[in-house]
Amino acid sequence: MNGAVICADIGTSSLKTALVDTSGAVLFYVRIRFNGTGGAERWYEAFTSAAAQAKTAARDGGCRVLGICVSGNGPTLAACTGETLLWNETPAETGATLSGDTANRSLFIPRLTLFHSTYPAAWERSPYIFSGPEYLIWRLTGEPLTILPESRYREAYWTEESLAAARLEAEKLPPFVPPAHRAGFLSAQAARQTGLPSDVPVFCGAPDFIVALIGTDTLRAGTVCDRAGSSEGINLCIAPHPASVWTPRQLAPVRILPAVIPDLYNASVLIPDSGIRFSALKKETAPDASYENFVAELIARPKRYAAAYAFLTETAAEVANGVSLLFKLARDAGCPVPSRIRTTGGQAKNGAWLQFKADALGIPIEVTACPDAELIGDAVLACTGLNIFADIQEGAAALVRPNRIFEPHGAAAL
């Protein structure tokens, strides 16, 4: 009997779940939108429903569920009692303040401080405060933990010193574990609600942008991924540290974070709202059209839709500028210069837009077989945890499947 893993990624407004076999094929996919705000209890309800459907698909396909892996956006926070502070929420007049070096280095300390001020009673009575994936893992297994993408992320999360400086109790925060760690097995309740056996192991995913890079195999120096949804981030895997190559002024437009692979780094250029602006433009110009037909219509009749067409060209130019900057960084660092870009996210499902981008960049854009790369990243981590692969890089090389390449019309521009 063939084996597959159930992969779940918690988004802001929905939960995406897939059943992925050990060759990387997606056997089942469902997206469940949350009713109202996507709080912690809704994550669990959505997952148990999706997992039950995935279990049925596995049975019908003669496939055995080998494990579960969970990822999600961050730093969303949730208490054991269900109170949730989404990553993009900033409740007014909470009185939460944090300044200085701790606030600059940590992604989580400011959010933890805000959670404490917003939900003081929940903070006091909850044994633990989790990020999104860890809350769902805890609900499934009863095991409290915090996923640390790589050891160099400690300061971006918290240290004992940073928690003490912020006057936050360290015991509220579960211990760190790495991605692909086996958290435990399904509790009796979770097994009953999903219909899965209680001996199904649950593995740790990672924050969504990390699993997206795993799910596009952006794990070797000189590889690049355009993660394009509501916002957009162009990500270059690089070594050595860019600060050893460029001055702080040169690096000002670039965000540098450790990669999930030791000794590698992720250099990214962000376009904060390209997808949001794109959606607003379509709603105003052609609300009933599909996104792909909308772009095709603008390209076919640029004079008729002059303002909307100008938006396409301006956005593509923003992407091209970001890619050009990262390619120059790669050259200066002595890294291989990418020969193509892999893309993921909602914008990766729009072929007309990808062709327009490829033409603007002058290099091929590649879409993987599963455009929701977070789910393939989860599959890589689960299969690594199951010892099907020796490490994450081997797993990504095996499971990430190129599907379609958009070749540019014209000479290379970068």
- pLDDT tens by residue, 269-281: 999 888 888 889 8
Domain 3-210 has CATH 3.40.50.10320: no
- Residues paired with 69 in a beta bridge: 7, 203
Q: Using CA atoms, how far apart are residues 71 and 7, in angstroms rounded to an integer?
A: 8
**What CA–CA distance (Å, rounded) separates 80 from 75?**
16
Q: Mean pLDDT by 10-residue block, N- to C-terminus, for the chain (414 residues)?
A: 93 93 96 82 95 97 96 92 89 41 70 96 97 96 98 94 95 97 97 96 96 97 94 95 96 96 96 87 90 92 93 94 97 95 93 95 95 96 98 98 91 54
| Cβ atoms of residues 194 and 52 within 8 Å | yes
Q: How much of the chain exceeds pLDDT 90, in percent? A: 84
CATH of domain 218-372: 3.30.420.40
Neighbour count for residue 230 (Cβ, 10 Å): 19
The domain spans of the chain are 3-210, 218-372
Say what the pLDDT of residue 414 is.
57
Cβ burial, residue 184 (10 Å; 0-12/13-18/19+) = middle
Contact yes or no for 400/84 (Cβ under 8 A): no
Please write the tens of the pLDDT for every residue from 182-221: 999 999 999 999 999 999 999 999 999 999 999 999 999 9
Single out the residue of 306, 303, 317 nearest to residue 274, CA to CA. Answer: 317
pLDDT of residue 103: 38
Tokens standing for 211?
Answer: 């699993």
Fold agreement between 3-210 and 218-372: yes
